[in-house]
């Protein structure tokens, strides 16, 4: 099924017009020596057959009945109206708005997205979006290097390991050096980024300090003090945030963040085994010319109608080529649209309810596990909607619970050898009291 409309008669007419006898003649410019010798793919499938194959693969996944998995991707309600909006053909089957006169829908929705990201973060300007939170953070680090003309960046080890891995990959290209600020993971420790250690690293050769709020372990970092440490010798603070938490937590713009990034997946985007997601990036207006990614601005036409265009394109690859701020070409427009529709659907009150429910259930979960003597919080600091809990013999019990369809969070020992037997458990507004009971019962049964 090639989705091609041409009949034999159409082919004939077109071949005659072109003046060749067969379609093969149109490929005569491919030298014999390099022509494909094989193309051994399965035969075509009808719609009902291909549905069968995809249903088979979907059924091979076992979606757990109870899951406390987060660690960078979160199970939230995706309102039906959000899926309806992004399912509109006019959004989904358009491309980058190169012709603004027939792309006002995409352009205005991006302008609304930029506006909402600025509101959430308390920043002055937001990009039209990035691939995901990790690549946005890596791009933010390189942006800070350009802004400060420095070639070293500092990152807390309480930033998600995935994000630090992507940061390392991006920095390896231009040879930017990464300095780690070790989080306090000692027995009885806070699980936070020590301010004095951050201050010690942030000398006048370091472009930025990258910190996550809430951090990878769910802990709440002292952002004001960390911002002061970053700024003391002219460095920048890059703050990686979780967007729903911003309904309750201080806006990064208010505590002095210079660049803010986020994984936008919690804003109405399905888990979909890791993507597509959307990276958020926001900054101060005086940094905009070093900001990577597309930007939409408002303007007018000759008849006095308001309209929207891609703007400040002199930063971008299709104009600047090797002098561009980044090679990024598209944004994640449809995912940004999902986030825009989500934030409009929940509004400020709904987003606060999501954040409150998530954090109450995290504390309910930790309290339930601790009171039943099943485990203990590994860190002392206040946390938001994710909590690190040490459970004796955790690897075996984590596997045994998975067998029962309960995913007891993310095993921390894989990335942090010092966090043996420690699980990172995430809660959202979808976490029910029954889920918490199931986890406690499961831990009890696998003692």
Residue reference for tokens 């410019």: 29
Contacts of residue 116, Cβ cutoff 8 Å, sequence gap at least 6: 339, 340, 343
| Residue with Cβ nearer other proteins (256 or 276) | 276
The minimum distance between CB 134 and other proteins, in angstroms, equals: 4
- CA 209, distance to chain mean position in Å, is 19
Residue 196 or 300: which CB sits closer to other proteins?
Answer: 300
CB 260 within 8 A of CB 241: yes
| Shortest spacing between CB 384 and other proteins, in angstroms | 7
CB of residue 390 to other proteins, shortest distance in Å: 16
Rounded distance, CA 140 to CA 328, Å?
Answer: 13
At 390, give phi and psi (nearest 5°): -90, 130
CA distance linking residue 245 with residue 120, whole number of Å? 10
Write out the DSSP string of 341-409.
Answer: HHHHHHHHHHHHHHHHHHHHHHHHHHHHHHHTTS-EES--S-BSSEEEEE-TTHHHHHHHHHHTTEE--
Q: Which is nearer to other proteins, 52 or 200 (CB)?
A: 52
In the complex with other proteins, which residue's Cβ is closer, 15 or 203? 15
Q: How far is the CB of 16 from other proteins (least distance, A)?
A: 10
| Least Å from the CB of residue 358 to other proteins | 10
For other proteins, the closer of residues 234 and 270 by Cβ is 270
- Of 318 and 447, the one with the shorter C-beta distance to other proteins is 318
CB of 165 to other proteins, least distance (A): 4
Q: Is the Cα dihedral 20, 21, 27, 30 positive or negative?
A: negative
Q: Please name which of 219, 340, 231 lies closest in space to residue 278, comparing C-alpha atoms.
A: 340
Tell me whether residue 75 or residue 152 sits nearer to other proteins (CB atom). Answer: 75
Residue found under tokens 């597309």: 294
Least distance CB 286 / other proteins (angstroms): 12
Question: Which residue, 203 or 415, has its beta carbon nearer to other proteins?
Answer: 415
341-345-348-352 Cα dihedral, nearest 10 degrees: -110
Shortest spacing between CB 266 and other proteins, in angstroms: 13
The residue (of 177 and 204) whose beta carbon lies closer to other proteins is 177
Q: Report, in Å, the least distance between residue 437 CB and other proteins.
A: 10
Question: Which residues 6+ apart lie within 8 Å of 261 measured at CB?
Answer: 130, 133, 136, 137, 140, 238, 239, 240, 241, 279, 280, 281, 282
Look at residues 206, 154, 145, 156 and name the one whose alpha carbon lies nearest to residue 178. 154
């Amino acid at each position: 099924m090639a989705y091609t409309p041409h009949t034999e008669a159409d082919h004939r007419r077109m071949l005659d017009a072109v003046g060749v006898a067969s379609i093969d003649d149109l490929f005569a410019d491919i030298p014999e020596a390099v022509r494909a010798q094989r193309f051994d793919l399965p035969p075509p499938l009808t719609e009902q057959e291909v549905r069968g194959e995809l249903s088979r693969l979907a059924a091979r996944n076992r979606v757990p009945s109870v899951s406390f998995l987060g660690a960078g991707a979160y199970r939230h309600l995706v309102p039906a109206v959000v899926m309806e909006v992004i399912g509109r053909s006019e959004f989904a089957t358009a491309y980058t708005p190169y012709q603004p006169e027939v792309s006002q829908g995409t352009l205005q929705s991006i302008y609304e997205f930029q506006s909402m990201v600025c509101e959430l973060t308390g920043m002055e300007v937001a990009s039209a979006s990035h691939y995901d939170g990790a690549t946005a953070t890596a791009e933010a680090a390189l942006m800070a290097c350009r802004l400060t003309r420095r070639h070293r960046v500092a990152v807390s080890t309480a930033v998600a390991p995935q994000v630090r891995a992507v940061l390392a990959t991006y920095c390896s290209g231009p040879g930017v050096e990464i300095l780690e600020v070790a989080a306090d993971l000692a027995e009885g420790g806070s699980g936070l980024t020590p301010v004095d250690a951050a201050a010690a690293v942030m000398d006048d050769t370091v472009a930025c300090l990258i910190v996550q709020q809430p951090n990878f372990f769910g802990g709440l970092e002292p952002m004001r003090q960390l911002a002061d440490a970053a700024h003391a010798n002219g460095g920048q603070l890059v703050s990686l945030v979780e967007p729903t938490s911003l309904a309750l937590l201080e806006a990064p713009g208010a505590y002095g963040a210079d660049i803010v990034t986020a994984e936008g997946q919690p804003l109405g985007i399905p888990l979909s085994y890791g993507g597509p997601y959307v990276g958020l990036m926001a900054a101060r207006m005086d940094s905009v010319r070093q900001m990577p990614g597309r930007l939409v601005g408002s303007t007018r036409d000759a008849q006095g109608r308001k309209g929207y265009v891609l703007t400040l394109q002199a930063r971008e690859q299709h104009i600047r080529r090797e002098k561009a701020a980044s090679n990024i070409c598209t944004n994640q427009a449809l995912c940004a649209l999902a986030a825009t529709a989500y934030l409009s659907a929940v509004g400020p009150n709904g987003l606060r309810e999501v954040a409150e429910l998530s954090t109450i259930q995290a504390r309910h979960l930790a309290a339930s596990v601790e009171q039943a003597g099943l485990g203990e919080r590994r860190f002392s600091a206040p946390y938001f909607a994710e909590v690190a809990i040490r459970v004796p013999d955790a690897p075996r019990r984590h596997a045994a619970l998975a067998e029962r369809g309960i995913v007891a969070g993310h095993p921390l020992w894989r990335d942090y050898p010092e966090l043996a037997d420690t699980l990172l458990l995430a809660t959202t507004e979808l976490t029910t009291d029954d889920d918490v009971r199931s986890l406690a019962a499961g831990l009890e049964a696998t003692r």
